[in-house]
Amino acid sequence: MLMKPFSRYISAILLLIMAICSANASEKRPFVWVDDENYWPAIYRGADGKPAGIFNDIMTEAFARLDIPLKKAVYPWKRAQKMVKEGEADGMVTVYTKERKAYTVATEPLWNIGETLFFRRDDPKACRILKIKSFKEMREFTLVDIQGSGWTKDQYDAHGIRNVIWVPNTESAFNMIAKGRADIFIMFDLNAFKILSEKRARNDTLADGYRNIVAITPKFASLPFR
């Protein structure tokens, strides 16, 4: 069932899907949608291994209304983007960056997602991190980010931020913060808080490091996902 707060977004993607699929409408070729396997609650791999989350609900409902078959799957984020770029898949839901504009078209925004800065409260640079208001103020810090994160990469390049450690997934990024190997991780706040809560409850060797991770409020940025 589609969540009521998001039902108004269905019309934002119907016309675009119709335009893309009209040439093959008689063949009923499935539209192949791929996305991130670990971006809860927007999109993630459910307990049954299948796509789940808000974007899954929106896409499922939109294609059902159009009577167009939908083939969907979730992967590591970098791989999902590569599949769309190389024509193995037809679409994804993400921020419309400069690179992605070269090989995709986009709908109106489906959801504005909040990005927040995370860091260790006992970081010697914590007082300076708390004062950050823009990307240009991050040049002196070591950042960690996920491979395939297009929006932040654009910002790093535009503001001359060179000290970035690229890792495969969100857990690896938070591990770098927990171990004190990086100062800042910019992340989707709802997903981040869920991961931090789970990690703190495990009481493993990194639990104390995770308990020291805090977020800057208010949100650092709000990104339109299309």
Q: Which of 108, 141, 163 is the last residue of a domain?
A: 108
64 and 149 assigned to the same domain: no
pLDDT digits 0-9 by tens, 147-174: 999 999 999 999 999 999 999 999 999 9
Each residue of 129-146: pLDDT tens digit? 999 999 999 999 999 999
Examine the domain organization and report whether 147 and 51 are in the same domain.
Answer: no
Range of the domain at 51: 4-108
Judge if 142 and 182 occupy the same domain. Answer: yes
DSSP string covering 7-47: GGGHHHHHHHHHHHHGGGGGGTPPEEEEEESEETTTEEE-T
- Longest CA–CA span in the chain (Å) reads 63
What's the confidence (pLDDT) of residue 203? 82
- Give the number of domains in the chain: 2
Tens digit of pLDDT for each residue in 16-28?
555 555 555 556 7
